Structures are given as structure tokens and as C-alpha cells.
Structure 1
Amino acid sequence: MGNIFDEEKLYPYEGPIKKHFEEHFDRVFIAFLPFFQLDRAETDKSNLKKAKLLSNEEALKKIDFLKSLPEANRDIYNYDNERYPDNKVIFTEGKAIPWKNIVNGSTLTCYAELNTALRTSIGGLNRNFTRPDLMEKLNNYTDRETIYHPTEGTFGILSKMAIHSAFKLLEKNQIMITDEFYENTSIVDLDRLTEYEFCDEIGGKDYYLYSADKEILFTIEWDSFFFLIATDHKKMDQLIASHLFEGFLCNENTDHYWEYNVEI
């Protein structure tokens, strides 16, 4: 196996995740993007999600080229929900709600069902695999409790805060930030940034965060509600003991589509 950093293969899209990283890291953790609440009243339940499923009429108003296409049974999602809280609000007011609480409160049976419900809610699954029944259970609970959903395919502000704490815990201060297509890489010094400044350095399409010595990597991909943490067993033990992240360790068979082959 080649060097995943040099070959720009930092996310394992196919095959067992641990095997993908085995030349560099011996532990990989699947970390969930947290839900959250704000200390404020929210009456419009459509604002609890960044993504919104548009009606045909709404889609035609927002997307001109659809008018020239033949009618079809298609789902169109819009991510311009201006009333979804911005990063500064979440940073100052947000309280992370773990997936465990969502599963226990929503009558979903496991994390795999919750992940499927989330992916269904954004049109991220082939129609043969969608589970509107699970999505309804999820939405009923989060609407009732005024819980905001995470946004897929990006390190949310709460996750960035946890990642900042993790780098500090492991005494890693020189951090590399690389975008989705490996076109731009910047290096930041945590000693020179506040926590929020560090979070603000990471853009929506920055998918690879790692220490300059390449001893720990955080990576996400565009359609997921989770990200990966890869490091050695000693550092992973420290991170798990810190309770900064919710999720589970990959076993020898865990792959990107873990919800289909694990019962957790």
C-alpha cells in the first residue's frame, strides 16, 4: 500500500476502513456529528434542519433550468435555510445532543437506524434504501424537543470545537487543513488562535484535518453525518477517555456503509 497522504487517499470510500489506514494508524473511530439545542424558543420546525425538501413549485422558482426539463418525480433540496443558526450562535449558545439521546427518545432502535433516517432526510439514499418511517420517528422527536439536526458532509462548529480540544489534549499545535480536492492546504498554529478562530479557519469543504507530524487525522466526506478519527492506540485511548466524541471504534470489517452491517 502506498502513502495515503502523498497519494491523496485520505478517505476510505471502499473496503474495510482499518485496512485502508493500516500502514499509518492502528485505530480508527467513527465519530457522529452531534445534534444540538439552543437556549431559545423556536416555533418554526422547518428551521431545525439546514436542508429543506422543496415542493415542485418552490423548486421551479429557485432553479431556472428546471423549467426547461420534462416533468419527473425528483427530490430537490435547498441548503439556503437562512434561519438555521450560524456558527457564531451555535458556538456561544449551542448544547450538543448526543445520538444516544436521540435514539432513546425517538423510538429508533440503534445508531444504524438513526444514520439511515438522517440520510433519508436529505435525499442521500437510493429510493430502494430510503426509510421514511425512520425519518418520521426522528423528525417527530426532534420537532417536539426543538433539537437541531447536524448538517451532512461538513465538520460542524461543535465538532470543530471538539477537534480543537483533541489537538490540544494530544499537544498537537501545528495543524494542516486540506480541502476536498486536495487543491489547497494551509497550516495553522493553535497557540496563535482562539478556539473560535481555529474553527473559523476550517471551511465547509475542508475535509482533511491532521497534525503536521501526521500522527492524527480527522476526515469527512460530502454525504455523511459522521467523520473518521485515525491515530495510534495510545492516542485513541486518550481521546476515548476524554469523551470529546461519540461513536465507536472500527473493527476489521467496518466500512463506509457501516449502518448495513453493524447493530449499534
Structure 2
Amino acid sequence: MDYIWFNYETPILQQLPHPLTEAAILLNPFIQMPNGWTAKKRKSEYEHVYPELEESLQLGIPKPWNQVMAGTGIQSYADLAIALMTSSSALKKEFARPDLAELLNRDLPNDLYYLREDNISEFFISDILDVLGSNGAGTLLYSDPIFDQNGELQIKSLTEITVCELAPQEIVLTNEKTDYAFLSVYDSFTTLVLSKEKKIEEIINQKKWEALICGPETYISWYYGKIELGSND
């Protein structure tokens, strides 16, 4: 399966390739590092630091959006998505909300870091491999649109780091049966999960993922509906 580019004018479910029929938007968790990690990591008080993959997997814990919202006063998942995307300049000026971005950044606790933009969260990988390896599947297939690379790997041989390093940003992961697919989304802090069977809600509950299940009117720009994304050039 090649990487899927979803447009912003058509609901997600109408764009799914056969045999996939269901979709959900997984909210990539924030990265909570141990207390005092930032101060120890910095060489000066002005240095910007961010945990590397190995550090976040070994020392960090995932912090869900609802807990961040409770600490910042942001009232909805949609507003938090807009705050994140405003901070990363992913929205055009007419859609950006500097007020939400300021609210998020002003009250962000020490040692709490933004989730990785354009990437599947490293905290999801173990569960993703488990899901892709269910129903007797043994092979992970991936497609990287940036470097136009595709490949196959044995699921049992993979580690979280190996999967995270398959592509720098956008990627789709599936198995040889195309039971499920997981996609990072450009200019986003979410992961799409697609399924050919009506099992998405069951999987989300089992894995305790924070997610929005896609309905007939859910767009890739779910936080606003139909919009156009781009840079602020």
C-alpha cells in the first residue's frame, strides 16, 4: 500500500482505499520527561532541548491530551489541535489561533514536551506492532513518500526505534493482509488508524488510545471541518 494523501474537501471515510472501511484519529501523546530532565540536559538556560527517541522511550512517559487540557484551560481536543498547529505554523493565518497557542505554551509544565509533528508517536509503536501482527500476520509493509521508498520487514524482528527510523516524517504501516493501516499525517500531531473490519473501537478501548472515531462527516482537518492548510508565506 502506498502512502495515502487525504484531501480536505472530502470526508476521510470516502477516501479509504479498498479493503479498508473504518478510520480513527489517534491523538499522539505529549512527552513527559522526568522532573529536572530539562535543567540537566541544557548547557545554558537559553538552550532549546528536546528528547531524542531513545530518551523519550527509556525515560519519558506519554501524557494524553485531556491531561494537558486540564492543566492549560484549553476546553476541547479541537482547540488543542489548533493551538499545536498554530505554534508549528501549520495553519494559514486566517485559521491560526495565537490566543490558544499562547494559552498552551504559557501553562505548559516543566519537562513536558510537544509530541513529534508529522510522525507516528513512538509511544504507539509497540501496540501498533501488536495490532499488525494479529490474525496471523507476520510481515510489516511500509511506504515512505518523502524518499519514495517501500519495504517489507518481519514484525517479530522489529523494535520501536527501528520502526520510528523507517521514515523521517510521513509513513504508512500495514501488514500483508491489509487488515489495518497506520499513517502519520503531514503538518499534524495525530496518527490515522484504518481497518477493514469493524474493530477500531474495540482496539482503541483495548489499547487505551486517546482517539476520535471517524464518522461520515469527519475530515482530515477535523478540528475545523473543511479548510485548506499550508504555510504562512
Tell me if both proteins adopt one fold, taking TM over 0.5 as the criterion: yes
Contact 1:161 1:199 in 2 (8 A): no
Correspondence list, 1:154-233, <5 A: 154-169=119-134, 171-181=136-146, 183-193=148-158, 195-233=159-197
Structure 2 CA distance for aligned equivalents of residues 82 and 170 of structure 1: 44
The alpha-carbon deviation at position 224 of structure 1 amounts to 0.8
Q: Structure 2: give runs of 5+ residues left out of the alignment.
A: 227-233
1:200, CA displacement in angstroms?
4.5
What fraction of aligned residue pairs are identical, expressed as a percent?
A: 22
2:66 alignment partner AA: K
Q: How does the TM-score come out when normalised to structure 1? A: 0.74
Hey, what does 2:231 align to over in structure 1?
none
Aligned residues: 219
Within a 5 Å distance, the mapping from 1:1-264 to structure 2 comes to: 5=1, 8=2, 10-14=4-8, 15-21=10-16, 23-43=18-38, 83-142=49-108, 144-169=109-134, 171-181=136-146, 183-193=148-158, 195-261=159-225
2 CA distance for matches of 1:252 and 1:196?
Answer: 33
Alignment-derived partner of residue 68 in structure 1: none
Between the aligned partners of 2:145 and 2:3, the Cα distance in structure 1 is 11
Aligned residues of 2:181 and 2:194 also touching (Cα < 8 A): yes
Question: Whole-Å Cα distance in 1 between the matches of residues 56 and 205 of structure 2?
Answer: 25
How big is the shift at 1:208?
0.9
Aligned CA distance change for structure 1 residues 197 and 257 (closer, same or farther; 3 Å): closer
CA RMSD after TM alignment: 2.4
Q: Which has the higher helix share?
A: 1
Q: Distance in 1 between matches of 2:122 and 2:178?
A: 23
Which range is displaced more, 236-245 or 29-38?
Answer: 236-245
**What amino acid maps onto 1:246 in structure 2?**
E
Q: 1:200 to 1:131 in 2, by over 3 A?
A: closer
Greater C-alpha Rg: 1
Q: Give the 3 Å change call, closer, same or farther, for CA 259–237 of structure 1 in structure 2.
A: closer
